[in-house]
Amino acid sequence: MPGFELFGEAERKEVNDVLDNGVLMRYGFDGMRKGHWKAKELEAELETAFKTQHVQLVSSGTAAVSVALASAGVGAGDEVIMPTFTFVASFEAIMMLGAIPVLVDIDDTLTLDPKAVEAAITDKTKAVMVVHMCGSMADLNELQDICNAKDLILVEDACQAIGATYEGKPLGSVGDLGCFSFDFVKTITCGEGGAVITNNKDYYINADHYSDHGHDHIGNDRGAETHPFLGYNFRISELHAAVGLAQVKRLPEFLEIQRKFLKIFQETLSQIPEITLRTVPEGGVESGAFFNFFLPNIEITRKVIQAFKENGIDACWNYYDNNWHYIRKWDHLKDLKSLFPISEEVKEGLSYLQTKSFEQSDHFIGRNISCLIKLSWTEQEVKDRADKMAEIIKSVLS
């Protein structure tokens, strides 16, 4: 991760095909295309890769979450349970629909704690959104059991875990709906793009229409299409889809590299007694996009991060003080800093953030270091990097 590190002839060929026919929009202009339909081809490839019946490409991972929730009927006043550790897009996508994000603690998987989820359910809860952060997953069986018992929708945000699996199933295909991002720094990239996947035909049809102004996409005359319901513009372009089409065919190659490098980091760093690796649920296989581990306390963690920086170890983060990915610094959410008026229903629904604390999440995020795994490294570079990281950590601990 990310896939742009290995751009080559395959990506250039697909993009040039689009430029040669001149049709950059995924819909219409049938006569000009010369048979090229990059978005449709990419959707078919993703159906195979993710072992799912339906894929709808959209303009971003954020769009994918909003489209997925809307397709399942989530909207004004509904509560959507989500984790404290994610990307700001998670609550943005929920609030875009007038729904209320209910943040709950994570556990040592760095994803939703099922016990915290169960405790947060109210009569307004409509969906649980699990975010598979940093290449791995939550206990999906337990979350699925909770959702089934309470008749809730389970949405998987697998934007950071493309290619990871749970009990042999690709992440995103386990819940009712799965969401992916193909932005510039993902394992496979379109530059900008995303996808909603599902085995539910009704949800798929809703996603197909909703993401394109409500168009029903029946027939081959766009001007004659009807609008069964309101929609918005979350379309992907053919140029973006073309890049993704080349990249998805290389996903097995990328995953093999990531997982090989992840194993080197795990084997080297786990020899230090004070280090604990992140928990991967039984039956889970990480994508290898990140290497995650815990140190004894936040003070040591901060010292290690600083030492990494001073010694040229880049792309490693402690998210406790991060503005994008953890609840502590989301003041714009807590204070409802919006360009437009927030509904009273959402204001009331988010008032809990003024006093709510997340000690369990602090416990795990404060001690966590997350390291990006680059596809462009050589195996020797990875071994040298792992050895240097171990040396630095031992020095700090001593």
- The 3-class secondary structure across 101-115, one letter per residue, is EEEECECCCCCECHH
- As a whole-number percent, the residues of the chain with pLDDT over 90 amount to 99
Average pLDDT, the chain: 97
Strands (E), 121-220: 125-131, 153-157, 165-166, 169-170, 177-181, 194-198
Q: How far apart are CA 166 and CA 296, in angstroms?
A: 29
pLDDT 10s digits, 90-100: 999 999 999 99
Give residues with Cβ within 8 angstroms of 264, minimum separation 6: 379, 382, 383, 386
Q: How many C-beta atoms surround the C-beta of residue 26 within 10 A?
A: 21
Confidence of residue 1 (pLDDT cuts 50, 70, 90): confident
Does the bond joining 2 to the residue before it have cis omega, within 30 degrees of 0? yes
Confidence of residue 210 (pLDDT cuts 50, 70, 90): very high
Angle, CA 189 vertex, CA 184 and CA 191 arms, to 5°: 50
Joined tokens for residue 311: 């010694």
Residue in 387, 177, 124 with CA at minimum distance from that of residue 272: 387
Domains and CATH numbers, the chain: 3-250 (3.40.640.10), 252-397 (3.90.1150.10)
Give residues with Cβ within 8 angstroms of 281, minimum separation 6: 109, 137, 138, 139, 140, 141, 166
> What pLDDT shows up at residue 53?
98
Confidence of residue 355 (pLDDT cuts 50, 70, 90): very high
